[in-house]
Amino acid sequence: MAIEYYETALKACIREFKEETGLSVTVSKLLGVNSSGKQKYPNGDQAKSICIFFKVQQLLSGKLIANNSETLELRFFPFD
């Protein structure tokens, strides 16, 4: 997930969820934030990852699909 310059983390989550799964959702809660050390890519670029975890509250519309090169499989599981 990448947060665009103009959007909040919450808006990015909703947008990326739609792009990656085909589903439109709302988000109910921030679950946590985790950051990793620096990563260096083969081309020399460096980055630091920050993972933001949200709980999806409500499915608004759409059908669960994995139709892009980044996703192999999608399925739901209980949050325990």
What's the rounded mean pLDDT across residues 41-54? 86
What's the rounded mean pLDDT across residues 6-33? 89
Q: Band of the pLDDT at 58, cuts 50, 70, 90?
A: low
Rounded to whole angstroms, the Cα distance separating 44 from 27 reads 36
Hunting for tokens 């996703």 — which residue is that? 71
Instruction: Tell me what pLDDT residue 11 has.
Output: 92
Write out the two tokens for 39. 């990563």
Average pLDDT over the chain, rounded to an integer: 83
What is the value of pTM for the model shown?
0.67
- Whether the pLDDT of residue 23 is over 90: the answer is no
User: Which residue blocks in 1-80 are alpha helix, DSSP H?
Assistant: 9-21
In CATH, what class is 9-61?
A: alpha beta
